[in-house]
Structure 1
Amino acid sequence: MTVSIRLQIKTLYKDLSLKEQAIADYILENPSKVSHSSISDLSNELGIADSTFFQFTKKLGYNGFKDFKMAMLMQENDFSAISIHENIQKSDNELTMAQKVFDSNMTTLTDTKNLLKEEDLKIAAAMINQSKRLFFFGVGGSEIVATDAYHKFLRSPITVFHSSDYHIQLMEASLLTPDDCGIFISHTGKSRETIELAQVAKNNGSKIIVITSHAASPLAKLGDVVFISISEETEFRSEALASRIAQLSIMDSLYVILMFINRDKAQQSIAKIRRSISKIKEP
């Protein structure tokens, strides 16, 4: 599936210059006008040189403005389908507020799903499956995602590790080997702690899977495989919180794929855990 211009802009937005962000904002806010205007008209409107707009289209992966404009025309439905999710007003009742939160989450999941690539999923699943040990790394809000993943993957035949303490995570990263795999989670991809963890692991030759919302981030550049989660920032919920549901879904996907690869062993692991947990449940 071809990634839409809207999603391309979202994944790169935080790493664009101020001038490039102004171009991106204009495209997102005026898709129809952009797809039916000349590069000179658009550049004059934005007060920039034609070459600046041309280079922006190249940054998105197009051969030039004509290629970009053709893609815009073909993706008009993608832009026209955009609605302002979770734009909660004071006049909204509680049900409307909740529905807007759900709408926003569904958009986050749909956008993230559209960025998934079969080859990336295959490579990541193989890396995990072939590893002796699997470690989960994340700090702050990302640590919550790492803990949830650890809780899930404990049911798999793979030996997994995770600590909520950053210093212990750093110690674990220092002990990784080429036979191990680490999954590193950071919404911005710019968390100094997580970058340091990934760099230590990379220096040891460990396999690295990154989950972030920003494709051009320093953390993403360290990954052997990178998964991008997409989300919108709103007044009372940060982009990082919104991306969490997408990151959890990426983890769920990798978990399910791994369990199907190891179907027999996976069923044995799950059975052991269920037997153990059933002993403490009320009859």
Structure 2
Amino acid sequence: MEVSVRLKIKSLYNGLSTKEQNIADYILENPISVAHNSISYLSDELNVADSTLFQFAKKLGYSGFKEFKMAILIEENNFSTTSIHEKIEIDDNELTMAQKVFDSNIKTLTNTKKILGLDDLKKAAEIISNSNILYFFGVGGSGILAEDAYHKFLRSPAHVRHSTDYHIQLMEASLLTPQDCAICISHTGKSKETIRIAEIVKEAGAKVIVITSHASSPLAKIGDVVFISISEEIEFHSEALSSRISQLSILDSLYVILMFMNKEKSKEALSKVRRTIWDVKH
């Protein structure tokens, strides 16, 4: 299956130069304008040379800017059709609604899997494995993901921490050291609370791993490693709900990778946890 323009841009975003990121942001926000205007018009809008736009298209794998524009146009037309098809209608029965929700979640997982990078997974796992403390940060719905991750990683060799109280999160962030790391989760990447925490973590010298749905967000630009979850929005089914599925899968992946990196310590940690829980239940 051909990877969409949006997915290509988001998968390459963190490795782009500042100028290229500005071009990427414009394209993601104004795809119709890009598809229907000349390269000269767009270069004036972005204050870059025509050749810069041509090279940007080449970096994404297109033969030139003309082919790039055509890909955007086809994608936008298909997106409009798909959105109408996937949208839950008032006369849909309960099974149809449920099936559309499942289809949306499956699509989210598939699209997110396409842009996962081996280097990012290796780097994040090594950061976590070499850290004295791993802290999970998030507020609102992302706080629930952070708590789930905390519950999961308690079974790993990592020394993990998490709090649902924002003031405690701020204090914990300020006490991290260059030997620690934090995973910051925010669907939009624009949460002022999480951005502030990430800034404090960076000021403390600790590493920041970001999980978000928006590669150009302020939070993503703070991260040492950034994972992007891709989701499609349908009415009454928030994009944030769909992205949650892929964000959980990213966290699950990091957990499994970490466990395999430290097999003996992982077995020991699992054994302790299981034995303690078994004693209570029996």
Bin of the TM-score, shorter chain as denominator length: 0.7 to 0.9
1:137 aligns with 2:137: yes
* Alpha-carbon distance in 1 for matches of 2:45, 2:259: 47
Structure 1 residues 126 and 74, CA gap change in structure 2 (3 angstroms)? same
Corresponding position of 2:16: none
Q: How does 1:39-78 map to 2 (within 5 A)?
A: 42-43=36-37, 49=41, 51=43, 58=53, 61-63=56-58, 67-70=64-67
Distance 1:280 1:126, change over 3 A: same
Shift of 1:281: 2.8
Confirm or deny that 1:213 pairs with 2:213: yes
Q: How far apart are 1:49 and its partner, in Å?
A: 3.0
Q: Distance between the aligned counterparts of 1:18 and 1:226, measured in 2?
A: 16
Q: 1:80 to 1:253 in 2, by over 3 A?
A: farther
Identify if the C-alpha distance between structure 1 residues 125 and 19 changes in structure 2 by more than 3 Å, giving closer, same or farther. Answer: closer
- Give the drift of 1:97: 0.6
1:47-104 CA distance string (max 9 Å, x none): x935468969939932598524445778999889863474111221111110100000
Contact 1:8–1:60 (CA<8 Å) still a contact in 2?
no
Partner of 2:31: 24
1:107-126 map, 5 Å: 107-126=107-126
Q: Secondary structure at the match of 1:62?
A: helix
SS at 2:98 equivalent = helix
Instruction: Name the % identity.
Output: 56
DSSP 3-state at the match of 1:220: coil
Q: 1:223 Cα shift?
A: 0.6
Displacement of 1:25 in angstroms is 4.3
Unaligned runs of 5+ in 2: 14-21
How do residues 107-256 of structure 1 correspond to structure 2 at under 5 angstroms? Answer: 107-256=107-256
User: 209-218 vs 84-93, which deviates more?
Assistant: 84-93
Native 8 Å contact 2:43 2:53 kept in 1: no
How much has 1:3 moved relative to structure 2?
6.0
- Between 1:233-242 and 1:148-157, the stretch displaced more is 233-242
Instruction: Give the TM-score, by structure 2 length.
Output: 0.81
Gaps of 5+ in 1: 28-33, 35-41
Q: Deviations over 1:225-259 (max 9, x none)?
A: 00001112222122122211111000000000000
Aligned-residue Cα RMSD (Å) equals: 3.4
Distance 1:181 1:20 in 2: 33
